[in-house]
Homo-oligomer: A and B are copies of this chain.
């Protein structure tokens, strides 16, 4: 997906948010904004919004000397997700279509960081997520996914934020069920190679307990979306060989939607106008899309 005009102001807003998380030094925050404006002036040099965002978030780390501004955000989000995991696990297992609801839980988990920023009250978190779940997918290619999973033995999930990683354990169980012979199915979970915004690294994936259910693999990328030309050869091999690839979140959609080179099932919430237009849904709607 190309950089939309909306992405420019959004990236600048993100730069300030990250700058404030990275340092309390106002002068450094100001330098970050000045340098971000320089980077944004060259926005047409970047292939996707995620790569533009990456450049600005790298600036934040460099100027502040803080290699992981979202460290605490990720920690708190993972803790919150652990607290609601048992209830949501039971909830999915009570459903008729467990795979679909597990995908919805996985998509809705993308909202967890809003809890950290105070937009959601933690006490109501499970209820709020269940309300969101009731909205379902506005685009829902579940039948394609079900068909692709049947008989698959190698499934790759390309992860997004820390926090939803905990809830993805539920999705992994249901994916194995949907494949058929559960003990023959290997699920791989791709993570960022270094901290980038609140995206999950291997450390976050382990803290989420994902290593019990899947093989955690380093993609080699630390952009907020998988950029294939930066991926490690091992990861690329896995990406090509996997029977099914599921990509989570806006960032991975932005980098993969035009250049995946293979069939991908995208699961995401369209959080902004640019992605909503590209996926042909309204802002705030959920998408399960095969491309």
Interface residues of A (CB under 8 A from B): 5-6, 8-9, 12-13, 15-16, 19, 29-30, 33-34, 37-38, 40-41
CA distance A226 to B28 in the complex (A): 32
Q: Decide yes or no: A13 and B5 within 8 Å by CB, A38-B41, A41-B38 being known contacts.
A: no
Query: Please, could you name 13 A-B residue pairs with CB atoms under 8 Å apart, sorted by A?
Result: A5-B16, A5-B19, A5-B33, A8-B16, A8-B33, A8-B37, A9-B13, A9-B16, A12-B12, A37-B40, A37-B41, A38-B41, A41-B41
Using Cβ atoms and an 8 Å threshold, which residues of chain B touch A6?
A: 16
CA distance A8 to B37 in the complex (A): 9
Residues B41 and A34 in contact, CB atoms below 8 Å apart:
yes
Residues A12 and B16 in contact, CB atoms below 8 Å apart:
no
Within the complex, which residue of B5, B13, B30 is in contact with A30, where a contact is CB–CB below 8 Å? B5
Using Cβ atoms and an 8 Å threshold, which residues of chain B touch A29?
A: 5
The prevalent SS among residues of A at the interface is helix
Using Cβ atoms and an 8 Å threshold, which residues of chain B touch A16?
A: 5-6, 8-9
CA distance A19 to B9 in the complex (A): 13
CA distance A29 to B6 in the complex (A): 11
> Closest Cβ of chain B: how far from A253's Cβ, in Å?
22
- Excluding A8-B12, A9-B15, A37-B37, 15 further A-B contacts by CB distance (< 8 Å) are A5-B19, A5-B29, A5-B30, A6-B16, A8-B16, A8-B37, A9-B9, A9-B12, A9-B13, A9-B16, A12-B12, A34-B41, A37-B40, A37-B41, A41-B41
CA distance A37 to B40 in the complex (A): 8
Using Cβ atoms and an 8 Å threshold, which residues of chain B touch A37?
A: 8, 37, 40-41
Using Cβ atoms and an 8 Å threshold, which residues of chain B touch A8?
A: 12, 16, 33, 37
CA distance A8 to B33 in the complex (A): 9
Question: Closest B-chain residue to A33, C-beta based?
Answer: B5
Using Cβ atoms and an 8 Å threshold, which residues of chain B touch A38?
A: 41
Using Cβ atoms and an 8 Å threshold, which residues of chain B touch A40?
A: 37
Using Cβ atoms and an 8 Å threshold, which residues of chain B touch A41?
A: 34, 37-38, 41
CA distance A41 to B39 in the complex (A): 11
CA distance A153 to B6 in the complex (A): 49
> Closest Cβ of chain B: how far from A209's Cβ, in Å?
36
> Closest Cβ of chain B: how far from A237's Cβ, in Å?
40
CA distance A40 to B6 in the complex (A): 16
CA distance A59 to B37 in the complex (A): 18
> Closest Cβ of chain B: how far from A17's Cβ, in Å?
10
CA distance A194 to B13 in the complex (A): 30
CA distance A40 to B9 in the complex (A): 11
> Closest Cβ of chain B: how far from A117's Cβ, in Å?
13
